[in-house]
Homo-oligomer: A and B are copies of this chain.
Amino acid sequence: MSSPIDIAIVGATGTVGTALVEILEERDFPIGQLHLLARAASAGKSISFRGRNLRVRTVEAFDFAQVRLVFFAASEAVTCQYAPQARAAGCALIDLSGGLPLQQAPRVVAEVNSQVLQGLAAPFQLTSPASPAIALALVLAPLRPLMHWQRLSVTACLPVSSLGREGVAELARQTSELLNGRPVEPRLFDRQIAFNLLGRVGAIDAVGHARLERRLAEELRQVLALPELKVAASCVMAPVFFGDSLSLVVQAVQAIDLPAVQAVLEQAPGVELIEPDDCPTVVGDALGQDVAYVGRLRGGMDDARELNLWIASDNVRKGSALNAVQLAELLIKQGL
């Protein structure tokens, strides 16, 4: 359909970068040249794409004028360091790190607020939100016409892979040490993560909120176009390798029409609603899937204006790489 475009992925060797390469291949994305970029340590490795082995190169030496679109899938700092070069070279830019301000690179969930793109002019800059924000937005957006919200309270249990490869390696190491009867010295986390839950993810600010909790609230407000929405968010690190598990309480102004909520979620794009007597989990349901799974849909125990539900979603796929590729597809339609 559209003429192939040349693309670079910064952080191509990571958890998210690897998924990006896979999804670009799966979805037959119209790519000319694909440039895989990482640190010098990974330069020379090769990654398979459409039957060819592509060499990883260092981002330092890369000339962004060679490509029209860049995915930033390394850290926030790396995004901030190289985004100016990419912009100067006229590239469109899709950030997965959250390193760019909301005003500069709006948060977009493909199924929810793609209309944002209409207001943008080249060079395009978009951000794929944090994975729990994507899952929440997919579930909440279709409910907006049904109710007026007072507030959301979410407890987001995140997998170690939300910290990338090192998180995965650390949980595996600790678990196997413990099962072999050896004491565990935590490295990546300040406490044991195996068979434990950490009530804090990342640094917290002067009033006690984690950066990710703030980001979640801000991104939800932007994606749902509800700037006044009140959000209570708690992020927890769980001894789970992959997949976000979210416990959500929605408080509405009026009594909630549960059958209507159910009917809307059954039709909602990017969402799979599970019967109320079952409950989806990340392992066995959500992992590897392109939708967020919703279960345990129920009212309040003592309040007709309350809605409770549970979401299981693949943090690497739907929660980052897939949404980023969907954003790229939208940019192409927009004439990237």
- Considering the complex, give the chain B residue whose CB is closest to the CB of A214: B301
Does A256 make an interface contact (CB < 8 A)?
no
- Interchain CB contact under 8 A, B232 and A300: yes
- Interchain CB contact under 8 A, A209 and B175: no
Chain A window 152-166, contacts with chain B (Cβ cutoff 8 Å), 1 for yes, 0 for no? 010101000000000
- Interchain CB contact under 8 A, B232 and A200: no
Q: Which residues of B contact A301 (CB under 8 A)?
A: 209, 213-214, 217, 231-233
Chain A window 230-244, contacts with chain B (Cβ cutoff 8 Å), 1 for yes, 0 for no? 111110101111010
Does A277 make an interface contact (CB < 8 A)?
yes
- Interchain CB contact under 8 A, B197 and A153: no
- Interchain CB contact under 8 A, A209 and B298: yes
Give which listed residue, B151, B241, B245, B299, contacts A207 with CB less than 8 A: B299
Does A283 make an interface contact (CB < 8 A)?
yes
- Interchain CB contact under 8 A, A199 and B234: no
Q: Which residues of B contact A284 (CB under 8 A)?
A: 191-192, 196
Nearest Cβ in chain B — how far from A177, in angstroms?
11
- Interchain CB contact under 8 A, A198 and B279: yes
Q: Name A111-130 residues within 8 Å CB distance of B.
A: none
- Interchain CB contact under 8 A, B312 and A282: no
Chain A window 305-336, contacts with chain B (Cβ cutoff 8 Å), 1 for yes, 0 for no? 01010101000000000000000000000000
Interface of A is mostly: mixed
Does A56 make an interface contact (CB < 8 A)?
no
Nearest Cβ in chain B — how far from A33, in angstroms?
38
- Interchain CB contact under 8 A, A283 and B195: yes
- Interchain CB contact under 8 A, A208 and B297: yes
Given A276-B204, A281-B197, A298-B209, residue A308 in contact with residue B232 (CB < 8 A): yes
Q: State in angstroms the CA–CA spacing of A277 and B205 once bound together.
A: 9
- Considering the complex, give the chain B residue whose CB is closest to the CB of A176: B179
- Interchain CB contact under 8 A, B197 and A240: yes
Q: State in angstroms the CA–CA spacing of A310 and B237 once bound together.
A: 13
Given pairs A192-B283, A197-B240, A232-B308, 11 additional interface contacts (CB within 8 A): A157-B236, A196-B284, A197-B282, A198-B279, A200-B310, A213-B301, A230-B303, A232-B300, A234-B249, A236-B245, A236-B247
Residues in chain A within 8 A of chain B (CB atoms): 151, 153, 155, 157, 171, 175-176, 179, 191-192, 195-200, 204, 207-209, 213-214, 217, 230-234, 236, 238-241, 243, 245, 247, 249, 276-284, 295-303, 306, 308, 310, 312
